Chains A and B, each alone.
Chain A
């Protein structure tokens, strides 16, 4: 494989962003913020703890969906960015598989989770493992909670949409992701399985 994951992480982890004169961060075709991870975790955890059990699946679906849309649009912006062209694009030999591996190196560099692809069947299935991710912090002091890595689930689905779905912006929701293991569940890593959405 041509992608040098560590080189991408070493390079792109040093990119620092900050609000412009309007206090906004327009980048990659979206507006970006750099907020405490605890804010996103607090809301997700408090919301899912408070809804009735029969509404939990719906609440979790919406949390995943937020990340799926974010990952799709921001991901598209990233793989068309100057940073990508300078650092990752020269390593890409096989499209879109190397693009996917590169995307997870960027995902790691920018602090969403220390994650990599461990299995890829082009156009069909992807398995991602995350060895450290902020969403696992929702389980404090060794507590075990239900799988809660909604952001990684959503973004993983989005990355497969970008790789194998119809051309942007028409490929959203071609794929879906389920969480098979979680650090917050007591496992040693999180594992995320992406498959194609069944169409009637």
Chain B
């Protein structure tokens, strides 16, 4: 295995006819922390239809496609390298600073030193006494699934520490279903 760190390649394209932006072939759109916070609040309010799970699974499905497409051009990447590229992608798209603390095919731990969702929520409304980062739960589920060649909904991701509550970092525990 090379000693050189794996660096994610990012290709941006603007479709002039349709006025759409693509990152690594994925249609992408800019939105702000107000939007993310209000979508998250909506998911929390709609508990009667388990909308938090809808939010996390919507994220997992989209990020699964995004990461899968990115890895297609690099079949030589190991699972650890895919996890590293996935963390880089997380940062490039503005979701925050992610580090995989431990990882295997059936379990793992992932930390956030910075988080768009948490810090955006605090910026808008101040701290909250419970976790709000369902988007990242979905991202991490997709990250592990694509790294280990599994389909979507192969992993359960729980948030056990949260920047939004005042913790120094967010911490997610990953386990296979």
Min Cβ gap B34→A in Å is 4
Q: Which residues of A contact B (CB under 8 A)?
A: 9, 13-14, 16-19, 22-25, 28, 30-40, 42-43, 46-47, 50-51, 59, 62-63, 65-67, 69-70, 73-74, 108-114, 132, 134, 137
Residue of B nearest to A50 (CB): B49
Q: Which of A22, A36, A51, A114 sits near B114, CB closer than 8 Å?
A: A22
Q: For A25, what are the chain B residues with a Cβ–Cβ distance below 8 Å?
A: 94, 116
Q: Does B93 contact A (CB under 8 A)?
A: yes
Scoring B35, B36, B57, B90 by chain A CB atoms within 10 A of each residue's CB, the highest score goes to B35
Q: List 23 A-B contacts (CB under 8 A).
A: A13-B16, A13-B21, A14-B14, A19-B95, A24-B116, A30-B120, A32-B94, A33-B31, A34-B28, A34-B93, A35-B31, A36-B26, A36-B28, A36-B62, A36-B66, A69-B34, A69-B38, A70-B31, A70-B35, A74-B34, A110-B30, A113-B19, A132-B19
Q: For A137, what are the chain B residues with a Cβ–Cβ distance below 8 Å?
A: 27
- Report yes or no: B29 in contact with A66, Cβ–Cβ below 8 A: no
Q: What band does the interface of chain B fall in when counting residues whose beta carbon is under 8 Å from A?
A: 35 or more
A-B residue pair count with CB separations less than 8 angstroms: 174
Q: Does B55 contact A (CB under 8 A)?
A: yes
- Report yes or no: A36 in contact with B38, Cβ–Cβ below 8 A: no
Q: For A23, what are the chain B residues with a Cβ–Cβ distance below 8 Å?
A: 90-92, 94-98, 114, 116
- Report yes or no: B55 in contact with A70, Cβ–Cβ below 8 A: no
CA gap between A114 and B17 in the complex, in Å: 9
